[in-house]
Homo-oligomer: A and B are copies of this chain.
Amino acid sequence: MFQIAVIGFGYWGPNLVRNFMAFPGAHVKYVCDRDPIRLSRAKALYPLISTNYLLDDVLNDPSVDAVCIATPVHTHYEIAMSALVAGKHVFVEKPITNNSDLAVKLIDEAEHRNLILMVDHTFVYTGAVRKIHEIVNETNFGKIQYYDSTRVNLGIFQQDVNVLWDLAVHDLSIMLFILDDKPLCVSATGLSLAPGRPEYAAFLTVFFENSIAHINVNWLSPVKIRRTLVGGSGKMIVFDDLESSEKVKIYDKGVSLSEDPDEVHKLLISYRLGDMIAPKLEENEALASAVSHFIACIEKNEKPLSSGKVGLEIVRILEAADKSLSLKGSPIEL
């Protein structure tokens, strides 16, 4: 039986506890949070979980195998590092840290101690994104040309990070999973409610070696939109996460470029338009898959799909995006 401690019982922590509790072979032994109201809520739901221990005590309990961290971003590093030093595997919410240097230290520490360090990039464990990954890698999808995502809603303002660190992380994790391309440079623009405040809306372009990605995130949209277009030379995908039954649609619409050598100024485009297919998707909860993957990685001592290294790559893109934001879109090399 894997013994788990969950640190942080705010917005996401209850989902972690529920999923680890539901996983056969895992048990949540501790929940820690500074807020006594949250702790009493945890206790009411799960009377058998201990909620009256401090983090240090929990880390000193040798029966604890892994620590799950669902606290504000700026606290991730300290808690994760303490857990690794105490010999615990770590499952940390996204983004891994608010700083790439600290992410490097966590990766090194985990490697050195042969512990699993996994970031909860939940989307890569959804049936939808797994299906997109599969389609994009089929030969008739062709070459990926662009990834264009809109992820806006009337959301909770984070206080320690801007909207890119909160929402764009999801798209960056999806992109790095499906694109198989090297990010080279970013350009970002955005706006905040007042000078010096974190941006609540931002527009990020990531230039890859062979493609381009654009992400539009906004905490102050009157409507919720979760739509991603993936354009390939053979097919195109629309991923709408708010659709109940047809989240992923594959369009047999590609464009082929043919060039008549005699007419250099003429661009010949032939469209092919065919059927649309909305494939059946796995319907399990993504977080349940992530939890199962984490435990499997520990058991087999394998690197997780959403490893610390992937988490680091995302933080590096976010740091560059922040710099570009402050320079009104100036390109920043990665």
Contact = CB atoms under 8 A, between A and B. Distances in A.
Contacts of A331: 327-330
A273 B154 contact: yes
A276 B237 CA distance: 14
A96 to B, nearest CB: 22
B224 A148 contact: no
B214 A203 contact: yes
A331 B328 CA distance: 6
A331 B187 CA distance: 10
A276 B193 CA distance: 23
B47 A267 contact: no
A236 interface: yes
Interface in A190-249: 190-191, 193-194, 197-198, 201, 203, 205, 207, 211-212, 214, 216, 218, 220-224, 229, 231, 236-238, 242, 244-246, 249
Contact of A222 (B197, B201, B218, B238): B238
A317 to B, nearest CB: 14
Given A146-B201, A152-B229, A154-B253, A244 B220 contact: no
A175 to B, nearest CB: 15
B277 A277 contact: yes
A4 to B, nearest CB: 16
Nearest to A276: B278
A327 to B, nearest CB: 7
A189 B191 contact: no
Interface residues of A, number: 67
Contacts of A157: 267, 269
Nearest to A281: B275
B269 A280 contact: no
A279 interface: yes
Given A222-B229, A223-B245, A236-B222, A145 B47 contact: no
Contacts of A277: 275-278
A212 B236 contact: no
A266 B229 contact: no
Given A157-B269, A189-B214, 9 more contacts: A145-B193, A157-B267, A187-B329, A193-B267, A203-B214, A205-B329, A222-B237, A222-B253, A245-B276
Interface of A: 47-48, 145-146, 148, 150, 152, 154, 157, 159, 185, 187, 189-191, 193-194, 197-198, 201, 203, 205, 207, 211-212, 214, 216, 218, 220-224, 229, 231, 236-238, 242, 244-246, 249, 251-253, 255, 257, 265-267, 269, 271, 273-280, 324, 327-331
9 contacts: A189-B212, A193-B267, A201-B212, A220-B231, A222-B229, A222-B249, A252-B280, A324-B329, A329-B331
